[in-house]
Amino acid sequence: MVAVAAPKGRPGLEAEAVLGKAYDMRLIRRLWKYIRPHSLLLVAWVAFMLTTIAFELAQPYLFMYSLQHHILGGKIEALPIDALGFVGLVVAQNLSSFCEQWFLQLAGQRTMHDLRIAIFDHVLAQRAAFFDRIPVGRLMTRMTNDIESLNEMFSQGAITIIADAVKALVIIVIMLNIDVALSLMTFVTLPLLFVLVEYARRAMRKSFRQIRVRLAAMNAFAQEHLFGIRVVQLLGRDKISQREYDEINAGHRDAYLLQIRADAAMYALVEAIGYIAVGGILWWASGHRAEDAATIAVVVGFIEYINKFFIPIRDLSAKYAVMQGAMAASERIFQLLDTAEYDGGTPGQLPPTLPDSAADQPATPTAVELAGVQFSYGAEPILRGVDLRVPRGATVAVVGATGSGKSTIIKLLTRLYERDAGAIRIDGVDVRDIPLKELRRRITVVSQDVVLFAGSLADNIALGHAYERALLDQAVHRVGLDKALVRRGADVTATVSERGSNFSAGERQLVAFARALLRDPEILVLDEATAHVDPEAEELIERGVHELMKGRTTLVIAHRLSTIRNADLIVVVDKGQVIEQGTHEELVAKGGLYAALEKTFRRQE
């Protein structure tokens, strides 16, 4: 038995290790694009924030005034008014705080909504090569966890660091106004606070970087193994997968330890420094007459303001961690949004037919043309100068061994990938000059891997487009899907489970045919669409294929001899090159590669 050691690192893991600042103005400026439509909400938040601070900081001042002039001054009759005023300030502060949080949270949620839509739309616009490079698990991390990290900047109140800074400045002004010497003595502790904040910042930055890397690794690992769950279970990889996931999970857990230590140290030491400042105030008071009402009032007022001054600093580590996460998440989000894809052309640029110059038109117009097309997924070329012409209205079958480049031709035609060299034209227009939306409206691909989405069967056929029910029913009937549904006692309103697991392979294939027929494309591509079907559904599949191909330009990649034999032209591809072309009879008589493949197809049937 040969044991293969699992790699210590997972591919591309370090790509997630983005260094982020807690306040990156470059990122904040980019975020402003999504915040700007809701700027009036932020204006309201600022107004209520200042009002809340005013009501909050007026409370110690009122208490100090009441203590000095009324309680210690013997004017007890004024206390009910003082108490009523204090209660009024507290109520007003809480009401203002409610409005402050309401407007801030509303602005945050609307901003995140817009950003989620922008990211989702952008990811949907990417080509297949993009998804080859980036694991789906990592993409999900950016589209969910990173957005949530950014959302926490609003929901967890991290953005209220701005309010904390304003409050601290106002407290400093108030304390200096009350007693300059006492204020300066209190602020002696500030250098120590700056040292603590810098320590916590560095520790959390390092910790957060590790947390994000391991979180992305966990998501990628889980997505990969859940997608291949049948292989994991049937081939007995579950124990190995559990062990590997446990290692990644343990790394994610341990990455939090540095942040926890820094947060705990920050909280405890800031609390201690606050008490030291209070102790300094009491020491100062001990050198003055205790019966002096002004002295007592100043001491009480300073203690209250010191507590209000140090509480935001004590909580700064937690808010800093959230801001650090938000900036790092923003960095990755904008990296994703900066992945630009060329759409090409403008709507309506593609002419419906070839130019009207009869002299320039061949007897049989060419619908699809590939000229000298070259392409590679990596270092090894897949297509090596492919030349192919599909006449309008004809059926052309492309055959060849596995890995010869047949499916790659389809991917380049629909611009899931971009060719390296050569030209691909539809009705004489390069596909790069055709907007993707228009290109894919004119070409419909039906493959053997049919993807169904959770919902109704009708939704899976229409795929979000508005069609009359009569047209949808007609498409279902023409491909024979209605007969398959009658067998199971259902109709197009039937519920589709996740990935269409409650439908057989043959039924899913008929759904794909109905989709294509409903879209009524000019060019139909069948990418081994009949390779894996249920034997009992074979007759329905054959009928569906026949209905689909009626009156259309069709490009067929198939292993079924019945489909290939009836093609107007058969193109044989080997090692990325076209080596034979002709009808079935011509190529069989030639005795080349197609003749050998034809024998293989015959045995399979």
Is residue 11 one of the residues assigned to a domain?
Answer: no
* 457 and 501 within one domain: yes
**Any idea what the CATH number is for the domain that residue 240 is in?**
1.20.1560.10
Range of the domain at 544: 363-604
* 277 and 396 within one domain: no
Q: Which residues make beta-bridge pairs with 526?
A: 446, 556
* 322 and 200 within one domain: yes
- pLDDT of 208-237, one tens digit each? 777 777 877 887 788 778 877 777 777 777
Q: How many domains does the chain have?
A: 2
| pLDDT class of 284 with cuts at 50, 70, 90 | confident
Is residue 202 one of the residues assigned to a domain?
Answer: yes
C-alpha–C-alpha distance, residues 517 and 506, integer Å = 17
pLDDT over threshold 80, residue 381: yes
Question: Quick one: what percent of the chain has pLDDT higher than 90?
Answer: 6
* 403 and 299 within one domain: no
Considering only residues 547 and 253, tell me which one the structure prediction assigns the higher pLDDT: 253
**Any idea what the CATH number is for the domain that residue 457 is in?**
3.40.50.300
Question: Quick one: what percent of the chain has pLDDT higher than 70?
Answer: 83
Give mean pLDDT, residues 49-63: 89
C-alpha–C-alpha distance, residues 444 and 520, integer Å = 8
* 477 and 593 within one domain: yes
| pLDDT score of 288 | 59
- pLDDT of 37-53, one tens digit each? 998 998 999 999 899 99
* 415 and 327 within one domain: no
* 300 and 434 within one domain: no
Q: Which long-range contacts (CB under 8 A, 24 or more apart) does 132-137 make?
A: 132/377, 134/12, 135/12, 135/220, 135/223, 135/224, 136/220, 136/223, 136/227, 137/216, 137/219, 137/220, 137/221, 137/222, 137/223, 137/224
- pLDDT of 335-379, one tens digit each? 888 876 544 444 444 333 333 333 344 445 778 889 999 998 877
Q: Which of the listed residues 284, 302, 337 is the one where a domain comes to its end?
A: 337
pLDDT over threshold 90, residue 526: no
Is residue 2 one of the residues assigned to a domain?
Answer: no
Is residue 495 one of the residues assigned to a domain?
Answer: yes
* 367 and 325 within one domain: no
Is residue 172 one of the residues assigned to a domain?
Answer: yes
Separation in Å, CA 85 to CA 54, 89, 92, 301, 437: 14, 6, 10, 17, 66
| pLDDT score of 51 | 94
Q: State pTM to two decimals.
A: 0.66
Q: DSSP letters along 316-358, please?
A: HHHHHHHHHHHHHHHHHHHHHHT------S-TT-S-SSS-S-G
* 319 and 386 within one domain: no
* 260 and 181 within one domain: yes
Is residue 342 one of the residues assigned to a domain?
Answer: no
| pLDDT class of 401 with cuts at 50, 70, 90 | confident
Q: SS3 for 466?
A: coil
Is residue 456 one of the residues assigned to a domain?
Answer: yes
* 434 and 332 within one domain: no
* 367 and 252 within one domain: no
| pLDDT score of 538 | 61
pLDDT over threshold 70, residue 263: yes
Q: Which amino acid makes up residue 290? A: A
Q: What is the mean pLDDT of the chain?
A: 78
- pLDDT of 320-340, one tens digit each? 767 777 877 888 788 888 876
Is residue 353 one of the residues assigned to a domain?
Answer: no
- pLDDT of 9-18, one tens digit each? 444 444 444 4
